[in-house]
Amino acid sequence: MKASDYVVEFLIQHKITDIFGYPGGMVTHFMDSLDKYRMQISAHLNYHEQACAMAACGWAEMTGLPGVAYATSGPGATNLLTGIACAYFDSLPCIFITGQVNTYEQKENLRVRQKGFQETDIVSMAQPITKQAVMVRNASELPELLETLYRVSMEGRRGPVLVDIPMNVWREDIEKPLPLWDQPLQPVVPPVEIATGILHELQKAHRPVILAGHGITLSGSREYFRAFVEQTGIPTVTSMIAVDVLPSKSAYCYGMIGAYGNRWSNYLVNHSDCILSLGSRLDSRQTGTCRDMFAPTAKLLRVDIDQSELEHRVNDWETHYEVLLEELLPVLLEKSKQIIWKFHDWQHCCMKIYSKLKYADRLEPASLFVEKLGELCPDGVVITTDVGQNQVWVAQSLEVKENQRILFSGGHGAMGYSLPAAIGAAIATKHPIICVTGDGGLQMNIQELQTVVREHLPIKIILLNNRALGMIHHFQEMYFDSNFVQTDDSAGFTVPDFIGIAKAYGIRAMRYTNEISLKSILADADPAFIEVALPQTTRLVPKLGLNKPIHEQEPPLSEKLQNEISTILKYKSRAQSCLPHEEML
């Protein structure tokens, strides 16, 4: 069979139902093969290769399978790189397929910059942001290579892979191989000793906190995790991209920590004596730039599949557990049922701190809108965010429902992510998606409005428009004497008539006036564009200052409130917080 046909059959056999891409000369054979199999796999045309890669990320988030995107050689391939980096830093399984010039047109060892037209060494460029990137030189390599890349993408800490296929390889004939049988899986040995060790440390603690990371969702372990939290009653905080791992209404959910985290969350972490970190990188946005100031009195128990992350230590007395969460959490849950957990004093303390700090900061109009949006969203609606203030407002203020998913560009922080990620999520789920974005990020991939219209996707685009690059605008206000160079319309940054643009694309568009109009827009399955006008000067509060521990956010708390918090934290806890069942009996 033709090699390009084989690649499509391989994807179909691995349950890939959708693929995102943009036409180009070096992928025409592949495009033609996709059309042959259009009843089994849908090829979705985006209008920029960056959006193809980001849509693949959104698809991967919602399915748990590799998102797939393709592009031609040269500029098509290089345009994928930002989306590839998004997948890499947020551990999303993706397969990126690039076309390449014919092997006989490549420069090989010649010292020229380029021999073939649009020849670019995309493999070397992609290697630092993929788990594996490789060029195929003979079609006979494809069966084994594709199987390997699929496994690499899905195994361990997930992430993207890239295969670069020259045009003459696409058109080669290949002997269709026998099905590649999966290698027999080694029997999984439940990590009983690890679970026992963790539970022993939690039993000794008086002020334990669980820090939940996105690895819980990526491993498919959310239900086990939620049951474990409810069983133990341990107060739980999250990283930004894991805010949806626990419903806001859980008695033990205390929001997100970090530089832009909730004040009460950061206070709980700072005053804890034991932190169980599950699938979180503990990067500088969570710990602050001075890692030795993070939770200085806590014993840190870190669970991660990536040894390299564990090597990036927070302090010298942390304990590491390199284990898959999907193997550990079921055992933790079962063994935790053998213990009577008693953290009532600490739980009461946490609730009082939450009550004191919840309204310590004046909420921005955007935060109030996001709160209202959360109330009006039906449970199960996926929300995507861009990067900047809109992202943080959602993470700080949105009430997360039981079946809610919120998608972020976390580690890479790529502006322009929300709209293409919403496209990928909508195609994966066939359900309405709410795309929250800003006036800066939207313009990075505004051309994807045409994708929404063409495929009549049920995406509600909510533009939080302050006519400025708000996060940098805030930095300039704080550190550069309000010299707003290049960030607002007084100094170089301007925005168009977004309502007019949305209508030009054929999307129903309106400006937000009240919750009744918003509720009616959210109620149907048609594409819609809602612009929310904000003041030009918008701020993110609270916000961590330079070289400070995460609980000392700006603006500083009043002396009166700090004293009240200190008084709450002086409660006397029981000498023993929890006991095994047999000891209680």
Q: What is the pLDDT of residues 225-243, one digit of tens each?
A: 999 999 999 999 999 999 9
Choice among 34-48, 240-254, 445-459, 567-581 with the minimum mean pLDDT: 567-581
The CATH H-level superfamily of 3-170 is Thiamin diphosphate (ThDP)-binding fold, Pyr/PP domains (3.40.50.970)
Alpha carbons 256 and 238: distance in angstroms, whole number: 5
Q: Is the pLDDT at 109 greater than 90, yes or no?
A: no
Q: Does domain 365-538 have CATH number 3.40.50.150?
A: no
**Sign of the C-alpha dihedral, residues 119, 120, 123, 124?**
positive
| DSSP code for 326 | H
Q: What is the pLDDT of residues 471-484, one digit of tens each?
A: 999 999 988 999 99
- SS3 for 185? coil
Looking at the predicted structure, is the pLDDT value of residue 578 above 60?
Answer: no
Asked if residue 197 has pLDDT above 90, the reply is yes
Which DSSP symbol is given to 243? G
What the block records as the tokens of 329 is 């959490």
Cα-Cα-Cα-Cα dihedral of 206, 210, 211, 216, to 10°? 160
Q: Taking 90 as the threshold, does the pLDDT of residue 11 lie above it? A: yes
pLDDT at 580 over 90: no
pLDDT at 216 over 80: yes
Average of pLDDT values for 48-76?
98
pLDDT reading at 114 higher than 90: no
Note the pLDDT of residue 575.
Answer: 43
Q: How confident is the model at residue 570 (pLDDT cuts 50, 70, 90)?
A: confident
Average pLDDT, the chain: 93
Segment 312-329 mean pLDDT = 92
Residue 583 has a pLDDT of: 43
> What proportion of the chain, given as a percentage, has pLDDT over 70?
95
Helix (H, G, I), strand (E, B) or coil at 355: helix
Residue 277: pLDDT band with limits 50, 70, 90: very high
**Domain residue limits, the chain:** 3-170, 192-360+562-584, 365-538
**Cβ atoms 461, 419 nearer than 8 A:** yes
State yes or no: pLDDT of 179 exceeds 80: no
Q: Which residue has the higher pLDDT, 107 or 188?
A: 107
Determine the pLDDT at residue 317. 81
Q: For residue 187, what pLDDT is reported?
A: 59
pLDDT for 48 beyond 60: yes
Q: What is the pLDDT of residues 128-161, one digit of tens each?
A: 999 999 999 999 999 999 999 999 999 999 999 9
Question: Of 165-179, 180-194, 566-580, where does the model show the most confidence?
Answer: 165-179
The pLDDT-based confidence of 546 (bands split at 50, 70, 90) is: confident
C-beta neighbour count of 38 within 10 angstroms: 10
pLDDT higher than 80, residue 498: yes
User: Does residue 542 have a cis peptide bond before it, meaning omega lies within 30 degrees of 0?
Assistant: yes
- How many other CB atoms sit within 10 Å of the CB of residue 467? 17
pLDDT band of residue 315 (cuts 50, 70, 90) is confident
Q: What is the pLDDT of residue 218?
A: 96
Q: Span 407-428, mean pLDDT?
A: 97
Token couple for 379: 């449970």
Give me the phi and psi of 425, to 5 degrees please. -70, -40
Q: Is the distance from CB of 325 to CB of 221 less than 8 angstroms?
A: yes
Homologous superfamily (CATH) of 192-360+562-584 is: TPP-binding domain (3.40.50.1220)
pLDDT tier for residue 189 given thresholds of 50, 70 and 90: low
One-letter amino acid at 39 equals M
| Backbone phi and psi for residue 383, each to the nearest 5 degrees, phi listed first | -120, 130
Please say if the pLDDT value at position 581 is more than 80: no
Q: Which residue has the higher pLDDT, 186 or 100?
A: 100
* Residue 159 contacts residue 67 (beta carbons within 8 Å): no
CB 62 within 8 A of CB 382: yes
Question: Could you tell me which residue, 436 or 112, shows the higher pLDDT?
Answer: 436
pLDDT at position 584 is 35
**Confidence (pLDDT) at 398:** 95
Q: In sequence order, which residues have a C-beta less than 8 Å from that of residue 30 and are 6 or more positions away?
A: 4, 7, 8, 70, 97, 99, 165, 170
C-beta separation of 515 from 376 below 8 A:
yes
Q: What is the number of H-type helices and E-type strands within the chain? A: 26, 22
Contact 80, 52 (CB under 8 A): yes
